[in-house]
């Protein structure tokens, strides 16, 4: 790998043959993952549960870190090839302890899916004083990936999959005040910023890690109402929409927006994790089981990736900020 010429992956669809209605099981098909070791954060909630199920049924050993081990056990009961371990992404020592346990097992890590996340929460802070959405959705996964790096290298061909969101459209990084210490807290902006950071992390990680055969991807799973991700939203904050028979909803501005099932929402994370179509690729944002289109800053589309989320200079700047805030450096 080190002797190969490595080119940037173009941020443009590759016509994968899949689409928004593809399910995770359809992506997996008859593929077997026996002998593969996979970690899925958020693997016991929402689309994470379906992601875990499909990977495990294909023969992989799936480790699910959980803030509530008992809840994870109850949710994942009956699924074979599952290991559950304790992890709190807002607690740096918990991250280190979890990673140390895994590294000490001596196993390689073939796939890391950073899927855990919180959305539009009231102002909360971790033990360091960092805003909770930035801490959970980005910084926690940054530290976790760094601590698991030796196991990713050991796999001799690994992928890191970061579950982001269409919400990155509204969230360029505020480098002067990422943790809302000096500006008024806006939970939607905080969520958008954290998901923009997730995409930028994949861009910067892939640049550093691809020479060692570790590739990184970010993705939007789609809008999946059958999850508890919006549990912190009040009833009056939920946009009233008209649901259509084809599974779309119509927003207040009249634009159609597709709703997905849990099975469909888990499809793109699975595609990014296992698809041979992505061999030799990385550092891109995906949706609907394909690489997404790069759209201009003034785009009003409901799909694609906006320029501030894939800008290489911004990704490098965020990487340095993340190292500073976490005190963690990758040994790449």
Going by C-beta distance under 8 Å and a sequence separation of 6 or more, which residues neighbour residue 228? 45, 46
157/36 Cα distance (integer angstroms)? 11
pLDDT at 228 over 60: no
Q: How many residues does the chain have?
A: 332
State the average pLDDT over residues 150-167.
97
Question: Which residue ranges make up each domain of the chain?
Answer: 24-225+262-326
Task: Please state, in angstroms and as integers, the Cα–Cα distance from residue 271 to each residue in 65, 67, 102, 177, following that order.
Answer: 21, 26, 25, 35
pLDDT (tens digit, 9 = 90+) per residue, 90-110?
999 999 999 999 999 999 999
Query: Which residues on adjacent β-strands are paired with residue 158?
Result: 214
pLDDT, position 184: 98
Going by C-beta distance under 8 Å and a sequence separation of 6 or more, which residues neighbour residue 68? none
Q: What share of the chain is helix, strand, coil (3-state, %, to 5)?
A: 40, 15, 45
pLDDT, position 230: 47
Residue 4 pLDDT grade (very low, low, confident, very high; cuts 50, 70, 90): low
pLDDT at 233 over 60: no
Residue 5, helix vs strand vs coil = coil
pLDDT at 261 over 70: yes
Q: Give residue for tokens 């799973």.
A: 221
Q: Where are the beta strands (DSSP E) in 67-110?
A: 82-86
- 292 or 246: which carries more pLDDT confidence? 292
Residue 100, helix vs strand vs coil = helix
Residue 330 pLDDT grade (very low, low, confident, very high; cuts 50, 70, 90): confident
Report which of 299, 304, 302, 221 is spatially closest to residue 255, judged by C-alpha positions: 302
Residue 6 pLDDT grade (very low, low, confident, very high; cuts 50, 70, 90): confident
Contact status, residue 267 vs residue 156, Cβ threshold 8 Å: no
Among 135-139, 179-183, 228-232, which stretch is predicted with the lowest mean pLDDT? 228-232
Residue 331 pLDDT grade (very low, low, confident, very high; cuts 50, 70, 90): confident
Fold held by 24-225+262-326: Rossmann fold (3.40.50)
pLDDT (tens digit, 9 = 90+) per residue, 163-172?
999 999 998 9
pLDDT, position 229: 53
State the average pLDDT over residues 9-20.
97
pLDDT at 243 over 70: no
* 285 catalytically annotated: no
- ∠65-169-122 over CA atoms, to 5°? 55
pLDDT, position 282: 98
The pTM (predicted TM-score) of the whole model is 0.92
6/10 Cα distance (integer angstroms)? 12
Tell me, letter by letter, the H, E, C secondary structure of 141-182: HHHHHHHCHHHHHHCCCEEEEEECCHHHHHCCCCCCCCCCCC
Directed axis angle between helix 312-326 and helix 140-147, to 10°? 80
pLDDT, position 256: 54
Q: Identify the active-site residue in 44, 130, 166, 191.
A: 191
Report which of 75, 58, 57 is spatially closest to residue 66, judged by C-alpha positions: 75
| Two tokens, residue 307 | 């320029």
32/230 Cα distance (integer angstroms)? 34
Neighbours of 30 (CB within 10 A): 5
The percent of residues above 70 in pLDDT, for the chain, comes to: 89
Kindly give the residue spans of alpha helices, DSSP state H, lying in 275-311: 307-310
203/210 Cα distance (integer angstroms)? 11
pLDDT at 187 over 50: yes
State the average pLDDT over residues 64-77.
97
β-strands 111-114, 37-41: how paired? parallel
State the average pLDDT over residues 181-195.
97
């Amino acid at each position: 790998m080190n002797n190969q010429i490595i080119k940037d992956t173009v941020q443009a669809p590759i016509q994968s043959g899949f689409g928004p209605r593809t399910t995770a099981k359809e992506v997996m098909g008859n593929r077997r993952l026996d002998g593969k070791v996979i970690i899925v954060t958020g693997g016991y909630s929402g689309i994470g549960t379906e992601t875990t199920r499909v990977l495990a049924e294909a023969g992989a050993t799936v480790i699910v870190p959980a803030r509530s081990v008992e809840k994870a056990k109850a949710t994942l009961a009956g699924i074979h090839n599952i290991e559950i371990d304790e992890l709190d992404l807002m607690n740096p020592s918990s991250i280190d302890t979890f990673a140390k346990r895994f590294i000490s097992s001596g196993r390689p890590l073939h796939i890391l899916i950073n899927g855990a996340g919180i959305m539009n929460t009231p102002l909360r802070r971790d033990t360091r004083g960092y805003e909770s959405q930035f801490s959970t959705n980005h910084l926690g996964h940054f530290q976790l990936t760094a601590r698991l790096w030796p196991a990713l290298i050991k796999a001799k061909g690994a992928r890191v999959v970061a579950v982001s969101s269409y919400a990155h459209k509204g969230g360029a990084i505020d480098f002067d005040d990422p943790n809302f210490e000096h500006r008024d807290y806006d939970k939607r902006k905080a969520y958008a910023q954290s998901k923009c950071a997730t995409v930028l992390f994949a861009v910067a990680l892939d640049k550093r890690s691809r020479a060692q055969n570790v590739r990184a991807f970010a993705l939007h799973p789609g809008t999946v109402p059958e999850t508890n991700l919006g549990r912190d939203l009040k009833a009056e904050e939920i946009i009233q929409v008209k649901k259509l028979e084809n599974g779309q909803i119509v927003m207040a501005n009249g634009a159609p927006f597709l709703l997905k099932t849990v099975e469909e929402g888990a499809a793109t994370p699975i595609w990014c994790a296992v698809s041979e179509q992505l061999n030799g690729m990385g550092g891109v944002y995906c949706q609907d089981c394909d690489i997404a289109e790069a759209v201009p800053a003034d785009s009003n589309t409901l799909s694609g990736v906006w320029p501030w989320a894939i800008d290489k200079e911004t990704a490098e700047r965020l990487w340095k900020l993340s190292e500073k805030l976490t005190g963690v450096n990758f040994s790449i």
